[in-house]
Structure 1
């Protein structure tokens, strides 16, 4: 079992809310996340991975959801993975993509983040992003495309 953690990162500025989305090395829209290291809590893993992948320092607001899925590891074959997602408020840092891991990162208006997730994201992140937006007071529907 591989355990990872990550988050839906948001910032509020002049009354507007922005959601951070990344484009992974496969060109898919997703959320920053990564593998837990020995001795770390899930929260510590999420904040470290967000910082490493996007340059943004965050603070945990609350847990959102834990998702589980299987993937094919190049060396170990079929593996189970569990990812703990948190709602994370951006508190500092400068946005920049860790090009070894991801292709890009940007701040999007919440409905645009949702549109990109639905169109270009991984299905198992739909509920994570929907719940995060809901906790920020933004309701979206599954078929909303703009």
Structure 2
């Protein structure tokens, strides 16, 4: 069985300041907003809908970042081939708030603080996604 999800690295610019949005999932890990594709949606529409639902932010896709593929086993279903499409997304409007049914919290962080949290409390398969996004925003991280 194949499951397609989409999400993004959301950023905003305020004057000379850039902030990146990071969420804390229900397991307490730092991650990026994403979710499953619904029938009739494009992958891009899925990414923007999930960002809005999970964080309250209306965004616009700037460019694709990366597609991550992995497998996991779901009880009663078996092996799932998961594909997650990530985009660099600029925040356009909305008020930041967490979708409490799915995530614990969401916040705007300085890009280097977002990287620090990702490295120390995030999922390893998001490292390259966030690194590519930060590079696009003019920040180099290791």
* 1:75 CA drift (Å): 3.5
Q: How many angstroms apart in 1 are the aligned matches of 2:17 and 2:60? A: 19
Match of 1:144 in 2: none
- Runs (4 or more) in structure 1 with deviation over 3 Å come to none
Q: Which runs of 5+ in 2 are unaligned?
A: none
How many correspondences in the alignment? 141
TM-score, normalised via structure 2 length:
0.97
The SS at the match of 1:67 is strand
RMSD: 0.8
Match of 2:118 in 1: 117
* 1:109 CA drift (Å): 0.4
- Offset from partner CA, 1:53-94 (integer Å, 9 cap, x none): 000000000000000011232441331100000000000000
Q: How many angstroms apart in 2 are the aligned matches of 1:8 and 1:61? A: 10
TM-score, normalised via structure 1 length:
0.94
Match of 1:127 in 2: 128
Q: Which runs of 5+ in 1 are unaligned?
A: 142-146
* 1:120 CA drift (Å): 0.4
Match of 1:93 in 2: 94
Alignment of 1:1-146 (within 5 A): 1-141=2-142
* 1:50 CA drift (Å): 0.1
- Offset from partner CA, 1:88-129 (integer Å, 9 cap, x none): 000000000000000000000000000000000000000000
Q: How many angstroms apart in 2 are the aligned matches of 1:90 and 1:101? A: 20
